């Protein structure tokens, strides 16, 4: 017979796989209508995932013990902000009309922030110190603000795309540097047996795809965005699994063990209580019998019968047996033997 939990797990995997296939096909069909629509949907989905990762991390600080997860979770708010600006600044969007290729610069800024975070956070894996989330948030806020200022206001961020020529050397080399950082992160992840490995692999493929395109609406750009989408889905899964599901499973497992131990303790105490009540009753009964035996007993001066409380005269042996549980073994003392059976005593 199939285990219910196993059946549910397999059923969920099938539904998840169907969802991914449907999503991929649906997104591709949007490119046939308008590539900008495809780009906006993919980026918005990634942005929602990034903000969700931050929200879950921020509200689960008490439960997430890993400094690595805390830093990565907080960083994705700012990665999401850069990706949101990337979406709004994409060529064809009527938002930032003074320059068509802000989006390429914002992409590189976001990917540098993401990849360096995934690598730098390993420095805290071996420490037991608590992460000050306020300081981490402030640091990322300052870094993100500087990146945005350098792109939109100071305009000192290196150019990443030249119309008619394609990607600049800075953009291409940056993608390779980002891929190298992510590869190093994978090595650390494998060594430390951590999650995010699949997510980083998807990100590497995405970055490599973005080194080939010469058109913002080309097939390489399409593939890169698909793998970015998969990467963010894996990040979300990793945060939920390692940060919340696993700790809560551990907590509930410990609670179940504690409840089982407590139940056993309760059963043992009930048994002990029953035994104690039995002993108390036995002692009370013995005390009653002792009290009876300590009273003055009416006894016949001739036949030695004992009169009980109801006025009945009975044998001494019967009375003592009833009130103290004493059993008697009859015999004849030497004096009685001489008096009553002298003929047999010669």
Q: How confident is the model over 50-71, as pLDDT tens digits?
A: 898 898 888 878 777 778 778 8
This model's pTM is above 0.85: no
Q: How confident is the model over 299-309, as pLDDT tens digits?
A: 777 676 777 76
| CA angle, residues 38, 39, 42, in degrees to nearest 5 | 85
Predicted local distance difference test score (pLDDT) of residue 193: 47
CA distances from 343 to 175, 337, 339, 340 (A): 130, 9, 9, 8
Q: Which CATH architecture has domain 34-258?
A: Up-down Bundle (1.20)
Predicted local distance difference test score (pLDDT) of residue 345: 58
Predicted local distance difference test score (pLDDT) of residue 121: 80
User: Which parts of the chain register pLDDT below 50?
Assistant: 1-2, 193, 250-251
Predicted local distance difference test score (pLDDT) of residue 145: 96
Q: What are the domain boundaries of the chain?
A: 34-258, 297-344
């Amino acid at each position: 017979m199939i285990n219910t939990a196993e059946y549910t797990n397999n059923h969920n995997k099938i539904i998840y796989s169907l969802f991914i296939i449907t999503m991929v096909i649906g997104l591709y069909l949007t490119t046939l209508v308008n590539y900008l629509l495809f780009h906006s949907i993919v980026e918005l989905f990634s942005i929602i995932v990034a903000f969700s990762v931050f929200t879950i991390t921020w509200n689960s600080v008490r439960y997430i013990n890993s400094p690595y997860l805390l830093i990565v979770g907080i960083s994705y708010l700012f990665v999401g902000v850069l990706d949101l600006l990337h979406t709004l600044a994409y060529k064809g969007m009527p938002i930032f009309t003074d320059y068509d290729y802000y989006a390429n610069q914002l992409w590189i800024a976001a990917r540098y922030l993401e990849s360096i975070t995934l690598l730098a956070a390993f420095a805290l894996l071996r420490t037991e110190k608590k992460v000050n989330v306020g300081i981490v948030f402030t640091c990322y806020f300052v870094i993100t603000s500087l990146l945005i200022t350098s792109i939109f206001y100071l305009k000192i961020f290196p150019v990443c795309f030249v119309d008619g020529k394609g990607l600049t050397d800075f953009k291409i080399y940056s993608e390779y540097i980002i891929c190298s950082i992510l590869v190093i992160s994978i090595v650390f992840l494998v060594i430390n047996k951590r999650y995010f490995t699949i997510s980083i692999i998807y990100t590497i493929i995405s970055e490599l795809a973005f080194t080939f395109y010469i058109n913002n609406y080309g097939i390489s750009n399409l593939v890169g965005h698909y793998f970015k989408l998969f990467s963010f889905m894996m990040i979300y899964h990793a945060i939920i699994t390692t940060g919340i599901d696993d700790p809560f499973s551990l907590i509930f497992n410990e609670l179940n063990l504690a409840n089982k131990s407590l139940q056993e303790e309760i059963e043992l105490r009930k048994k002990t209580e029953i035994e104690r009540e039995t002993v108390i009753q036995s002692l009370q009964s013995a005390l009653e019998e002792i009290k009876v035996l300590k009273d003055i007993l009416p006894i016949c001066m001739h036949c030695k019968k004992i009169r009980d409380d109801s006025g009945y005269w009975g044998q001494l042996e019967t009375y003592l047996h009833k009130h103290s549980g004493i059993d008697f073994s009859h015999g004849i003392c030497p004096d009685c033997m001489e008096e009553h059976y002298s003929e047999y005593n010669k």
